[in-house]
Chains A and B, each alone.
Chain A
């Protein structure tokens, strides 16, 4: 079974441009999360989808970031316009709620390294 896949693995863009990151979760996983690690900081939560609905977007830094998960399968994260401080690694994770378990293990993709010049 394929794991979480992210595309592209690396993106280099200029300040002011738009970039769209894609995440394909593990098939059948309802939960999809976006995280990022920017320069010198730890991995931080951005948002969480349950199927196609945004459950929690409290970590989204500002309105330049837009995440979608139409159809409840893959998700995209668009940054428009990109700023220098958006540079970092963006991770996607997915999980499936397990019956009787309050917590569920999140499986991560390899990440997209975004460089804004």
Chain B
């Protein structure tokens, strides 16, 4: 699979437990955030997004929480399964309209699910 030796923080979690992945951002004007999942040998896949007028959004087994006060967001995965093993990235589109939504990515967190 794809690997470029990036030293990622790793979250090791027991199958069935909940996972929490954190991301910090610096731009107070950021108004939209996305979580991507990247499995080995694949490109980033969209999981869930959230707008800054919300502080929580739920999907299937995933919840994203946004704390604008401390510029922090998290992705919670309920009942983590082996198929959840991947690298997870938070990303935000540019707030500058002329910049055409180019994404800025966080460094990523590797989730390893132990059977």
Assuming the contacts A108-B44, A110-B42, asked whether A43 and B89 have C-beta atoms less than 8 A apart, the reply is: yes
Name A1-22 residues within 8 Å CB distance of B. 4, 6
Instruction: Give bound CA distance, A48 to B103, whole Å.
Output: 10
29 example contacts (A-B, Cβ-Cβ < 8 A) are as follows A31-B100, A33-B102, A37-B4, A40-B4, A40-B7, A42-B105, A43-B44, A43-B89, A43-B103, A44-B105, A50-B100, A56-B98, A56-B99, A59-B102, A89-B4, A91-B43, A95-B101, A103-B93, A104-B101, A105-B46, A105-B49, A106-B46, A107-B46, A108-B44, A110-B2, A110-B41, A110-B43, A111-B43, A113-B2
Cβ of B29 under 8 Å from chain A? no
Q: Please give me the 9 A-B residue pairs with the lowest Cβ-Cβ distance, nearest first.
A: A108-B43, A43-B105, A45-B102, A55-B100, A108-B44, A42-B107, A48-B100, A110-B43, A103-B32
Q: B-side interface residues toward A, CB under 8 Å?
A: 2, 4-7, 32, 34, 36, 41-46, 49, 89, 93, 98-108
Contacts of A44 in B (CB 8 A): 105
Interface of chain A, main secondary structure: strand
Closest Cβ–Cβ distance, residue B12 to chain A (whole Å): 21
Q: A-side interface residues toward B, CB under 8 Å?
A: 4, 6, 31, 33, 35, 37-45, 48, 50, 55-56, 58-59, 87-89, 91, 93, 95, 102-111, 113
Instruction: Give bound CA distance, A43 to B4, whole Å.
Output: 11
Contacts of B5 in A (CB 8 A): 39-40
11 more A-B residue pairs beyond the given contacts A93-B103, A95-B101, with a C-beta to C-beta distance below 8 A: A39-B4, A39-B6, A40-B4, A48-B100, A55-B100, A58-B99, A89-B2, A104-B101, A106-B103, A107-B46, A110-B41
